[in-house]
Amino acid sequence: MAVGFLIFILLYVCLTHRENVSPHPEPLVLQMGSCRFQLDLSVHAALYPHLQRYYCRELTSEKAWCHGPRSAPLLLLAIKSHPASRKRRAVLRRTWAQQRMMGGFWLQPVFLIGTASEDSLAQVLLQEIQAFRDVLWWDFAESPSNHSLKERCLLHWVHNRCQRAAYVFKANDDIFVNPYELTQYLRQLPRVADSIHGNLANEEPVKRTGDAAVPCLLYPLEHYPPFIAGGTILPGAMILKLYQVSLQLPVFPLDEAYLGFLALAANINLRHEGRFQVWGLVKDELEAYKESITVHGVSMERMEEVWKELWN
């Protein structure tokens, strides 16, 4: 009862005394091919006011995440997760989301989580946070449109608290990651720090119906700018540019498209790599996992099986 009451007070203070700042000094004109356009802040503020008004504030953050051995570059594994996905996080902690040295990098996992709506779930989450100390917890409510706040607030946090990160690998908690292939990719690719990397979505059509629907008033074009779908590598050298444009662009309610808008505004190249398997594998064989950087759509049971086979 005491823990639940403390959580309630903490969330009430954070939600009712949030700084009221405007992170959009001047609108940016974006260029996509021959098309020039702006994202209208007034429309975004009318349709998604909470996305535009929210000021990034962490409920939990650990200085140790950005330390590690000075001799090794820091690779931050930033994993979007839902408060209710406790079992999935447990599997990731037993497999690829472990603090370790690999391929010359220091790997540091951090789970990115918003607040839970149920008191009982919030209490369980708080116990998990205290036990594992690997959750970056914000005081916005967990919801699909708020995934874009995880994008913006991650940039805010890395820029202000974790500038030592050489790379940020960003993914959802429903993918399998081969950390060895990830680090080899970073070591072997020339000029790897000059681009954002992953599976590139080009000419992705804008949906006007369904869960991912976007009204014409919000975004009138028929296709999105190129963006990365699934696991994404953000070089630490690009964080400042992305953070700066995030202060000027309105927060778009679809997270992957939002990062695409930020990259376009910051004039950052996106590089396609086919070993980011966003559509799963044609054949679920161990050799395919060995050669892939990420695989989407792997069950928790299969993830643990593959991990044991790979490292044994």
Q: For 80-128, what is each residue's pLDDT tens digit?
A: 999 999 999 999 999 999 999 999 999 999 999 999 888 889 899 999 9
The domain limits of the chain are 36-274
Q: For 166-176, what is each residue's pLDDT tens digit?
A: 999 999 999 99
Measured over the CA atoms of residue 100, residue 102, residue 108 and residue 111, the dihedral's sign is: negative
Was domain 36-274 assigned CATH 3.30.70? no
For residue 16, pLDDT over 60 is answered with no
For residue 27, pLDDT over 90 is answered with no
Alpha-carbon distance of 141 to 129, in angstroms, equals: 17
pLDDT of residue 33: 85
Q: Which among 278, 70, 251, 246 is positioned nearest to 172, based on CA atoms?
A: 278
pLDDT of residue 35: 86
- Give the CA-trace dihedral at 193, 273, 252, 32, to 10 degrees: 80
What is the pTM for the complete model shown? 0.91
Q: How large is the average pLDDT for residues 8-36?
A: 58
Alpha-carbon distance of 77 to 36, in angstroms, equals: 35
For residue 69, pLDDT over 80 is answered with yes
Q: How large is the average pLDDT for residues 179-205?
A: 96
Q: Do 139 and 59 form a contact (C-beta atoms < 8 A)?
A: yes
Rounded to a whole number of angstroms, the distance between the first and last alpha carbons of the chain is 45
For residue 139, pLDDT over 60 is answered with yes
Angle (nearest 5°) at CA 170 between 69 and 254: 155
Q: Which residues contact 45 (CB under 8 A, 6 or more apart)?
A: 52, 53, 250
Where in 53-126 does DSSP place strands (E)? 58-60, 74-80, 100-102, 105-115
Where in 84-150 does DSSP place strands (E)? 100-102, 105-115, 135-141
Number of other CB atoms surrounding residue 47 within 10 Å: 16
pLDDT band at 28 (very low <50, low <70, confident <90, very high): confident
pLDDT of residue 236: 97
Query: Coil, strand, or helix at residue 187?
Result: helix
pLDDT band at 133 (very low <50, low <70, confident <90, very high): very high
pLDDT band at 34 (very low <50, low <70, confident <90, very high): confident
- Give the CA-trace dihedral at 175, 204, 168, 121, to 10 degrees: -50
pLDDT band at 25 (very low <50, low <70, confident <90, very high): low
Q: How large is the average pLDDT for residues 60-87?
A: 94
Alpha-carbon distance of 103 to 13, in angstroms, equals: 43
